[in-house]
Every structure is written in C-alpha cells, then in structure tokens.
Amino acid sequence: MRFSAAVLAGGRSRRFGRDKARVPWRNRALLEHVLASLAEVDERFVVANRPYPEAGVPVLPDLVPGRGPLSGLHAALAYARHEVVAVAACDLPNLSPAYWRFLLRALGDAPALAVRDPEGRPEPLAALYTRRLLPLVEAWVRRGPARLSDLLAVAGARFLPWGEVAGRFGPRVLWNVNRPQDL
C-alpha cells in the first residue's frame, strides 16, 4: 500500500513497569505484532527515543521530545514520505493488515480518520493522519502537551463508529496492553 506507517514506542510504560514494546505475547513482542499489521505498507518505521534493533525497520527519535503521543505523531508526520500516515501505538497487538486497508478506503478526503471506541471516544493511536496536518501538529507540539483526541476534533477528522469496526474485526481489535495483568 502506498502510504507510510509509524509505530509509536516512546512511552515510559509507567503502568506496565517495563518497556511494553518488547514484552512477549503469543510468541512475539508487542511491537512485532503491530509492525506485522503494517506489513503491506510501503514505508514503516518506529518513533522512539531508544533503540529497537530487533524491529527490522528504521527507529527515529521525536523531534520535540517530552510531549507524549503528540511528539510521536509530530515525528511520524515529519518523517513520512507519503501523504497518508498510519499511526499505531506499540501496545495494540490485534491490529491487522485488513484493519489498515479498511481505514485507508474510508479516509476519503478527510485530514485524519480514527475509530470511536465503545464509549464513543476516538482512538488516536490506531488511526490515519495526512501530512496536511503537520503545521497544526507542529504548533500544538511547540505549545505543550495536549490530548490527541482534542487535536482530532480541531483538525476536522472523520470518525468511524465502533459498531462498524467491531462488527468487521471483532470486539478486541483495539485492545491495548497497559498493565502486566492485561496479558
């Protein structure tokens, strides 16, 4: 697929207690599961401020560190070669190539596309963004920490309803690992 993909692995994993990206689940590290979901994408890389040589893809640092996932999104949009960028957290092991193909078909001319979870909140770290958002994201990251869900609202993102996504990919498609007991 002719778009870029960034897996964000720059978090401190405070709730987990150690680097989540390397935690094994079903015989592979969580990071490997997410990268595999993006195997059909033309360009893949990891955004992290520490090395992941086992990733087998470039690992690029935040350009403006210390702003949480906003820093990761900013770096992803800045580094990407293609207009559309899939952005995924390293702790979402149930994503699949079919999920990303579905999002790409649904994007249309929106500046971003995210799925709403069962409670109606957007999931900004299993979403598509366009590089058109780079100036807005740049301004937000320079300003200070902010929630990606707020950015999506301001940017005029399109949102897919949970039922449509869960019906197609199952209710655990956006399951993420925050604590060891989640495994």
Contact in structure between 97 and 38 (CB atoms under 8 Å): yes
Res. 19 pLDDT band, cuts 50 70 90: confident
Mean pLDDT of 43-52: 95
Contact in structure between 21 and 31 (CB atoms under 8 Å): yes
Alpha carbons 39 and 18: distance in angstroms, whole number: 26
Residue 15's pLDDT is 56
Res. 21 pLDDT band, cuts 50 70 90: confident
**pLDDT tens for each residue of 70-100:** 999 999 999 999 999 999 999 999 999 999 9
Residue 96's pLDDT is 98
Residue 183's pLDDT is 59
Alpha carbons 53 and 110: distance in angstroms, whole number: 34
Question: Which domains can be identified in the chain, with CATH numbers?
Answer: 4-182 (3.90.550.10)
Question: What is the pTM (predicted TM-score) of this model?
Answer: 0.94
For the record, the structure tokens of 100 come out as 């990303």
Residue 59's pLDDT is 97
Average pLDDT, the chain: 92
**pLDDT tens for each residue of 146-178:** 899 999 999 999 999 999 999 999 999 998 866
Residue 86's pLDDT is 98
Residue 90's pLDDT is 94
Res. 20 pLDDT band, cuts 50 70 90: confident
Res. 145 pLDDT band, cuts 50 70 90: confident
**pLDDT tens for each residue of 22-39:** 887 888 999 999 999 999
pLDDT higher than 80, residue 62: yes
Give the torsion through C-alpha atoms of 135, 140, 144, 145, to 10 deg: -120
> The dihedral of CA 66, 70, 73, 79: what is its sign?
negative
